[in-house]
Amino acid sequence: MIALTAPAPNPSAGEAQSSLELSRASSVDVSVYDASGRLVRVLERDLLSSGRHALRWDGRDARGSRCAPGVFFVRAVASGSTAVRRLIRAE
């Protein structure tokens, strides 16, 4: 089982933080997608131990460019489970 907390602050003009809770060690993929479903940035792609793991997104894409304001989604996938949270980027 996985649990993904809502990003805060939300809306965010800078860094947004959330956390991922794993009930057991798992291979994890946590990524940010835009409203069209395009991958913006990978936040975590690794084998993580059980417990709580901090996540941070600085509002930049994979190339380091600031993302325009809009609606984004943080998606976490681990052990066949998926959790998604909405994040709004403000100016």
Q: Which CATH number fits domain 2-89: 2.60.40.10, 3.20.20.450, 1.10.1750.10, 2.60.40.4070?
A: 2.60.40.4070
- The pLDDT assigned to 78 comes to 93
CA angle 90, 16, 67 (to 5 degrees): 50
pLDDT higher than 90, residue 40: yes
State the pLDDT at residue 1.
81
Q: Is the pLDDT confidence value at 79 over 90? A: no
Length of the chain as a residue count: 91
Do the Cβ atoms of 71 and 88 come closer than 8 Å? yes
Q: Specify the amino acid at residue 3.
A: A
pLDDT of res. 87: 96
Task: Map out the domains of the chain as residue ranges.
Answer: 2-89
pLDDT at position 6 over 90: yes
